[in-house]
Structure 1
Amino acid sequence: MKILITGSKGFIGKNLVAELYNIKEGKVKHKGLLSAISILEFGRNTDPELLDVYCKEADFVFHLAGVNRPKEQSEFMEENYGFTSKILSLLKKHNNTCPVMISSSIQAELDNPYGKSKKAGEDLLINYSKETGAKVLIYRFPNVFGKWCKPNYNSAVATFCHNIAHGLPIQVNDSNVVLTLVYIDDVIQELVNALVDETNQQGSYCKVAVEHSIKLGEIVALIESFKESRSSLQVPNLSEALTKKLYSTYLSYLPEDQFSYPLKMNADDRGSFTEFLKSSDRGQVSINISKPGITKGNHWHHTKNEKFLVVSGKGAIRFRRVDEPSEVIEYIVSGEKLEVLDIPVGYTHNIENMGDTDMVTVMWVNEIFDPERPDTYFDKV
C-alpha cells in the first residue's frame, strides 16, 4: 500500500508520517493495516516532478498541504485551491481513483480569505468524487494541538505553551472565548483508521471522534499551573483527558536547557529527605536517604498511610502495634530485591540502615503533608 502525504513536514504531516513509520517498522500494530506500506512524502522542498509519479502510484492520498499565514492574501487561493486542483488533475491523468483525504477547517463556513480557499478546495474534491467515483474524505478540523505544532503561527495552544515555558508574555483578548480542540494523537488515530475504511463520517464531512471544548482563559490557567508545578511539585489532575493532553503538549515546548529542575533536599548528618511529587488526590512521593547506622521514624499515624521501597542499600523496617502490648515485627529490605512495604495505621515504625553505604528509600504517603494536621505521633518502636 503506497500512501501519499502532502504537507509531510507540517504539523499534522510530521505526526502522521511518524506513526505510519511506527506501523511500517512493526513498532505499532493496527487492526487491518499491515506493515507492508510505503510512505510517499511530499513537502515544499520535494522535487516537484515527483508529485506526478506519486499520484500515479498512490493507493491513498492524505492531502495535508496548505497555507494559513501567507504574505499575500492571494496565496490562500493559489495554495489551498490551486494545489488541490493540481493533485486531482494528476490523479485523473493516471486514472487513479484511490481515496483522497483533504485537511480542511471549520473556517470553511466563514466568509474570510482562508475560509473561502478551504471551501473551494472542498468543492473541488466533491465534484472530483462525482466525476470519477473516487472516495473522498473531507475533515473540517477545529483547533488542533499537540507536539511539533509551530508556536506564534496559527495555534493558540502552541503559542501559550511555548511562551509560558520560555517566560515570554502572552496576549488574551477575551478569556471567555470557547475553543473546540482536537489533540494530535486523536487526529492521527482517525487518519490511520481511514486507511482501513473506519472513519467517523457525519454527513458530507468527517470528524475526529474526540473533541474538547474549553474557555481560552482556562487553557492559560492550566498551562501556567503546569509551569508552577515545578516549584509546587503538584502533579496536574491527569484523570481529566484534556488536562493530560495539554500537559503532554506543554512539556514538548520546554527549552532544551531546562528539562531538569532542582528539588529542595532537607539534609543533616543522618542523611536527607526530599519531596518529589505531590497530588491532591494521590498523595506525595519523597526520597529518603539514610546514612549507615542511622534509624529514622519512630512514629505512627491515625489515617496517614505509607509505602516504602528501598532501591539502594540494605536495612530493616520495624513495626509495633501501639494500642496493645505486642512484639516488634521486622522486615529486612534491600535494593537487591525490590519489594514494597505497606505501613499500616496504628503501628509505630522506623527504618534503619544496616549497611555500609547510604540507603535510598522511595516513600509514598496517601496525603500531602499538612503542618496544621500532621497526623504523626512519636513513639519509639
Structure 2
Amino acid sequence: MSDPLSGMAGDVAVVGASGFLGWHLRVLMRARGHPEPRIVTRADLTGPPERLAGLLEGAGRVYHLAGACRGEPADVRDGNTTPARHLAAAVRRCARPPAEVVYANSVQAGNGTPYGDAKQEAAALLRAAVSATGGALRDVALPNLFGEHGRPFHNSVVATFCRQLADGQPPTVHGDRELDLLHATDAAAHLLDPDQPPAPCVRTGVRDLADRLGRFAAGYSGSAIPHLADSFDVRLFNAYRSHATGRHGLPRNRDGRGELYEAARTTGAGGQVFVSTTVPGQTRGQHFHLDKIERFVVLSGTAEIRLRRVLDDTVVRIRVSGDDPHAVDMPAKWAHSITNVGTGELLTLFWANEVFDPDHPDTFPEAVDPHR
C-alpha cells in the first residue's frame, strides 16, 4: 500500500496535537517515519488570525482534533464550535489554503445532545470554508476511543477506571451499557489514511470492562502479567499500565542453597524470555513499542533504566541492581534504555509478551535522552 502522506513532507499540520488523540496520532506518525508536523496550539487558535493562517499556509493536509467532550452544555458547545470557527476563518484567509482538512468527528454527531450537535455544527463550519477555498474535507466519524494516557473523567470510561484502580479504588459503575471501543492508535491510523476502512471496534459492557481491568490490576499489583487473550486485552492492559508505572518487587525464597525469585509470572500471556550481557558504560534499547509489553530484571551488576514518554521531555531514571532484583516494565509508547553503570558485566533478563517477529518488530528507534 502506498503511503497516504507521501509527497506531504513538512506539509502536515495538527490542530489539537497535545490532546489524547493528537498525541497518539503524532506517535504513530513518528513510528512510521513521517516528518514532524506543524503544531497548532490552543493559543494559536485564539491568537492573531494572521498567525493561524500562516501555520496553515500551503499545507497539504490539516488534522483538526481539537474539541471538548465533557463539561457544562455551553462549554461543550463552545469547546467544539469555537476552534472550528477559528480554523475555518484562517483557512479562508490563506493565500494558499490547505488542500485537505481531516476532521476527527464523532459517531454521536447530530444525535441531539450538546456534544453531538456541536460536533455536527463544527463539521458544517469546516466544510463551508474548505469548499469555498477549493479544498476537500474528510469528515471522519470516530466511536469511543481508549488507550494509553487517556485523561480520567474526560476522555473515556477506560481512563477513569484505570486511574481509580491505580489509586487503589474500585471502579465506579453507574449502570451497565454496551460500548463500542476503538483504540486511539487505530483511530490515528484511519485518520492518516481515511480511504482505508477503520479497524473494527470491540463491543463490551461497562461492567465487564470494570471487571476485566480489576482482574488486571489485582494480578499486576503482585507483579504478575495477567492472561491476555487477544490484542484488545493487551491494549486494555497497556492503558492500565500507563497509570501504574514503576518498579515491582519480586517474590523471593531463600534457603541454604541460595535464593530463588520469580522474574515474571504470566497467567497465559506466553511470550519470549532472553538474557543479555552488557559491558560497563554501554547502553541497550533506545527505542519504543506501540503495543509490546516488555519487562527488565537485572540479575547481576548495576544499571540505570531510562524512560521517556514519546513527544515528552521528562526522563525518568530508575537505578536497579542484581543485589536487590526488581522488575521494571516498559510502558507502551515510551522510549526506554538500560545502561551498565557498574564496574563489572551487567546480566539482564528480558521478557516480552510476544515472540519477536522481524517482519513486524513493533520496535521504533528513539533516543531516550538525545541531549546526553
- What is the TM-score with the length of structure 2 in the denominator? 0.64
1:271 maps to amino acid: G
Identity %: 25
1:90 equivalent in structure 2: 90
SS in 1 for 2:172: coil
Aligned mates of 2:348, 2:93 — CA distance in 1: 69
Q: Which of 230, 235, 245 pairs up with 2:235?
A: 245
SS in 1 for 2:182: strand
What value does the CA root-mean-square deviation take over the aligned residues?
Answer: 3.0
2:70 equivalent in structure 1: 69
The structural deviation recorded for 1:55 is 2.3
Relative distance call for 1:153 and 1:126 in structure 2 (3 A) is same
Aligned mates of 1:160, 1:64 — CA distance in 2: 24
1:14 maps to amino acid: W
1:236 equivalent in structure 2: 226
Aligned mates of 2:209, 2:179 — CA distance in 1: 9
- 1:351-362 aligned at under 5 Å gives the runs none
* Deviates further, 91-100 or 231-240: 231-240
2:40 equivalent in structure 1: 42
1:14 equivalent in structure 2: 23
1:277 maps to amino acid: A
Relative distance call for 1:137 and 1:199 in structure 2 (3 A) is farther
Contact 1:55 1:87 in 2 (8 A): no
1:48 maps to amino acid: G
SS in 2 for 1:249: helix
The structural deviation recorded for 1:38 is 5.0
2:178 equivalent in structure 1: 178
Contact 2:223 2:249 in 1 (8 A): no
Contact 1:62 1:101 in 2 (8 A): yes
Aligned mates of 1:107, 1:141 — CA distance in 2: 9
Aligned mates of 1:155, 1:251 — CA distance in 2: 16
Aligned mates of 2:88, 2:202 — CA distance in 1: 33
Q: Which of 232, 256, 260 pairs up with 1:269?
A: 256
Aligned mates of 2:58, 2:134 — CA distance in 1: 18
Relative distance call for 1:263 and 1:129 in structure 2 (3 A) is same
The structural deviation recorded for 1:233 is 5.5
Per-residue deviation, residues 226-262 of structure 1 (Å, max 9, x unmatched): 11113666533334111010001100001x5xx1222
Aligned mates of 1:74, 1:127 — CA distance in 2: 23
2:200 maps to amino acid: V
SS in 2 for 1:108: coil
- 1:199-214 aligned at under 5 Å gives the runs 199-200=196-197, 208-214=198-204
Contact 1:278 1:285 in 2 (8 A): no
The structural deviation recorded for 1:84 is 1.1
Q: Structure 2: 5+ residue runs without aligned partners?
A: 1-9, 274-298, 301-346, 352-372
2:108 equivalent in structure 1: 107
* Deviates further, 262-271 or 130-139: 130-139
Aligned mates of 1:261, 1:245 — CA distance in 2: 20
Per-residue deviation, residues 171-190 of structure 1 (Å, max 9, x unmatched): 20223x11111111112222
1:223 equivalent in structure 2: 213
1:158 equivalent in structure 2: 159
**1:260 to 2:236 alignment:** no
1:121 maps to amino acid: A
Contact 1:2 1:38 in 2 (8 A): no
Per-residue deviation, residues 321-341 of structure 1 (Å, max 9, x unmatched): xxxxxxxxxxxxxxxxxxxxx
**1:141 to 2:142 alignment:** yes
2:80 equivalent in structure 1: 80
Aligned mates of 2:38, 2:130 — CA distance in 1: 22
1:375 equivalent in structure 2: none
1:162 maps to amino acid: R
Relative distance call for 1:250 and 1:280 in structure 2 (3 A) is closer
The structural deviation recorded for 1:155 is 1.1
The structural deviation recorded for 1:129 is 4.9
- 1:321-332 aligned at under 5 Å gives the runs none
Aligned mates of 2:225, 2:25 — CA distance in 1: 29
